[in-house]
Chains A and B, each alone.
Chain A
Amino acid sequence: MTAPKDTLTPALPAPSGPVERAFGFKRLLEATQIVQWEADAQTRDFTYVGSQAERLLGYPLARWLEPAFWRTHLHPDDLERVLRFREEALREHEAYEFEYRMVAAGGQSVWFHDVVAVQRLDGVAAVIRGFLIDVSKRKRAEATARASAARVRQLIEQAPDAIIAARANGQIAFVNHQAEHLFGYQSGELVGGQIERVLPGQLTRQHLEVPGEQPGAVGPMTVGGSEPATARCADGRTFPAAVNIGRLETDEGLVVVTTVRDVSREVEAEQALRQSEERFRMAATLGADIIAEVNILTGGVVWFGNVDEAMGFERGAFPRTMDGLREQLHPDDRSRVRRVIARDVFERWQAVSFECRMRAQDRSYRHWTVRAAPRSDGDSRPKTFVGVCSDVTEQIVARAEALQHRDALAHVARVSSLGELTGAVAHELNQPLAAILSNAQAAVRLLDRAAPDLRQVGEVLQDIVADDRRASAIIQRLREMMRGESPSRERIDLCSVVREVREIMRSGLSMRGIAVLSEFTSDLSAVVADRIQIEQVVVNLVTNAMQAMEGLSEARLTFRVFQRGDGWQVVTVSDTGRGIAPPMLATMFDPFNSSREGGLGMGLSISRSIIEAHDGEMQAEHLSTGGATVGFALPPARDDRR
């Protein structure tokens, strides 16, 4: 029925008189969504309604003109408010406007904006006229906007971070619950206050001013760059916060939406890390330890502490890679360290501790104890290992010296006690021997006489018997002493025994310019023996060899440990001395048999006693090349013989 707007064209005849003008307005109104109406101010019933009214509510015009149509078709929610407003307006105003809903024929609500003018007769309202404008679209838009605002609000409330919206003047327009909770305020306490209260000195003009022409200037911003901002609570406590700012241009001007997140824990963690790194560096710089951070994936090594100086290298010259470090390791330690690292570091990712020797610039080796632990950023496989390397060379050297010192003392004690023993035994034994010899020779003389005094000879013989018994008692006592002194029998490795003696005698040998050679068969089975006694025998052999080479310009001593065809193990000491005269070979192990002037000849005889007590045998050989080889053989341990 209605012509479209664009049909309001000059094709229509231009109005020329009042009637025509009125007709023209009517036409104009009818072409719009605006309904012109007129009503009796007393009855409030419509007396005239524009024809568009039919379309707006779906009721025929005649219905509109029925009594109380307007009132009965008001939306029930608006009824009371609208009627009260109208009555008041009718009394006091010449014109008014208001908005309300009416219920259409289809049951739907239609929003109207009603503009009313009141005509009075003698001060009493007589006729009211107005326009009804359908504003449903606008109202819907408004409702949608309200609903979406509520949704936004809901979203903001549900956001995990605290959100504060402020106007350009810094006044807080809105905060979410998290913000109130975070800053310790009661509900609603923050709104209307200044944002400075919670973020002192954080928001600058840059954040609060309307962005200029630059496009994109309204994008999100952060406060303070990478450093956390300082936020302040209601009780004055401050905490580090990450602050993000978004800016919205609205009808009310710029709104700054600030998201605040408490980053205390991150900052604490970072500080702790920084502190521990600092401690690392401190510990390292103080010099006791050297700390290495090893990247397992790349094999790169970062040193904390002056490892270069400690190892005598130029600055930065000590290896910075695992491969380089392996080269510095003592060859004997390489496979062991590699094993430990492969198992504990690469497979188990666990802390590891080991000792090793590292080569310094001067090619000496420093003893290190290394304690290393994986450094993991999370659950993932660790990428780095941190190792604390302590140089314990001095301690080890001191320990070795103490050990050597102790060995030397033990040796001195052993040798001197043997010396004393030899002297005492010699003295004790020689007394009865001297008496026996003298008595026997006296007896011979007595019997040589023309008339021998047989009674006297008998006395002499009795003395001889007594002295002989005394001598054997001494020997018995000596045997008991030797047995009682060292009853121990243990499984010993002859190579280690010989090595120990070699260490004990080293200084004495080198002082005499004697070169020492060693030929050890490896993997010899153990023998069961008294370690101390066997050591004593080897000491005696070395002492004899040393004395045999006294004063010689070319002196060489060779230790040999090997296994004989019959399974016996043999230790020999060879010298380049004068050798052994053939007649000596038979008797050299007898007591009092010495090739040396002033020698008592007890060394080898005691050695023989010891070896025979071990079911072993002594052996001696004159070398055609000069010198002699003297040694002993011990039977294999009983288990091995089976």
Chain B
Amino acid sequence: MMEEPTVFVVDDDPSVRRSVVRLLESAGLRVEGFPSGEAFLERETPRGPGCVVLDVRMSGMSGLELQRRLHATGRPMAIVFITGHGDVPMSVAAMKGGAVDFLLKPFDDEALLAAIDRAIGRDRGWLHEQQELEVLRARFARLTPREQQVFALVTTGMLNKQVAARLGTSEKTIKVHRGRTMTKMEAGSLADLVRHAERLQVTAWNLDSK
């Protein structure tokens, strides 16, 4: 979890790329440089935390295009844009696409490092959430179909009696299912269980439709 982060620098200008890589390395970061968006996409998806320092205007794939592609891969890395000449529409598009910052060249090292720091922090948070979600999914998978039904209905705020009526069984049986579900999902209270349900996006509706 506390794996060392990597900064991916994508800029088609070799001298800029080399200087930025050098600067970040001198700041003690692990850095990889790429001359184009295409080259970066060819690399295997990084598992550990990281961020992309991305030039907006490049020959070939533009920075904004690369941003859209990364989103589609399911590993949306935090991006710090750098540009030699930017306008308002360009920066708006970048920020809407989830960019952490939009820096005009030439930029100060502190500004860049701060932005990278924020970006890596966000990426760590994203990774953490992804890992938590994996745990919850594993627990949910261990529930019996009946327990999953009870889990979905109880987290909508229904009383045991109502759930029993809905599932055509006794209130006592529901009570037993509910107890097992709480244990398996490692929920200490109904509130915990509701939170898990939200993150798993489990609802009565999508259970019914299954």
List residues of chain A with CB under 8 Å of any chain B CB.
Answer: 423-424, 426-439, 441-443, 445-446, 460, 463, 466-467, 470, 598, 600
Q: A466 touching B15 by the CB < 8 A rule?
A: yes
Q: Chain A's nearest CB lies how many Å from the CB of B57? A: 7
Chain B's closest residue to A449 (CB) is B26
Return chain A residues, CB-CB under 8 Å to B84: 426-431, 434
Return chain A residues, CB-CB under 8 Å to B22: 438-439, 442, 460
Bound state CA distance, A437 and B22, in angstroms? 11
**CB<8 Å pairs between A and B, sample of 27:** A426-B84, A427-B83, A427-B84, A430-B105, A430-B106, A431-B15, A431-B84, A434-B19, A434-B20, A434-B107, A435-B15, A435-B18, A437-B106, A437-B107, A438-B16, A438-B22, A438-B23, A438-B107, A438-B112, A439-B23, A441-B26, A441-B109, A442-B26, A445-B26, A445-B27, A463-B18, A600-B85
Pick from A441, A443, A445, A467: contact of B15, CB below 8 A: A467
Chain A's closest residue to B91 (CB) is A598
Return chain B residues, CB-CB under 8 Å to A446: 26
* B82 interface hit (Cβ, 8 Å): yes
Q: A431 touching B13 by the CB < 8 A rule?
A: yes
Q: Chain A's nearest CB lies how many Å from the CB of B152? A: 49
- Given contacts A431-B105, A434-B82, list 4 more A-B pairs with CB under 8 A: A430-B106, A435-B15, A438-B107, A466-B15
* B88 interface hit (Cβ, 8 Å): yes
Number of interface residues of B (CB under 8 A): 26
Q: Chain B's nearest CB lies how many Å from the CB of A438? A: 4
Return chain B residues, CB-CB under 8 Å to A445: 23, 26-27, 109
Which 9 interchain pairs have the tightest Cβ spacing?
A434-B105, A430-B84, A445-B26, A427-B84, A438-B19, A441-B109, A442-B23, A434-B106, A426-B85
Q: Is the interface of A mostly helix, strand, loop or mixed?
A: helix
B85, B87, B91 — most chain A CB neighbours (10 Å): B85
Q: B16 touching A434 by the CB < 8 A rule?
A: yes
Which residues of B, 15-65, contact A by the 8 Å Cβ criterion?
Answer: 15-16, 18-20, 22-23, 25-27, 57
* B208 interface hit (Cβ, 8 Å): no
Chain A's closest residue to B56 (CB) is A427
* B108 interface hit (Cβ, 8 Å): yes
Chain A's closest residue to B17 (CB) is A435
Return chain B residues, CB-CB under 8 Å to A435: 13, 15-16, 18-19
Bound state CA distance, A445 and B16, in angstroms? 17
Bound state CA distance, A439 and B25, in angstroms? 11
Bound state CA distance, A492 and B57, in angstroms? 41
Return chain B residues, CB-CB under 8 Å to A433: 105-106
* B104 interface hit (Cβ, 8 Å): yes
Q: Chain A's nearest CB lies how many Å from the CB of B161? A: 61
Pick from A423, A430, A442: contact of B19, CB below 8 A: A442
Return chain B residues, CB-CB under 8 Å to A438: 16, 19-20, 22-23, 106-107, 109, 112
Return chain B residues, CB-CB under 8 Å to A423: 85
Instruction: Render B96-140 as a binary contact track against A, CB cut-off 8 A, 1 for contact.
Output: 000000001111110010000000000000000000000000000
Q: Chain B's nearest CB lies how many Å from the CB of A12? A: 159
Bound state CA distance, A561 and B105, in angstroms? 39
Q: A430 touching B108 by the CB < 8 A rule?
A: no
Whether A441 contacts B23 in the complex (CB less than 8 A), given A435-B13, A463-B18, A466-B15, comes out as yes
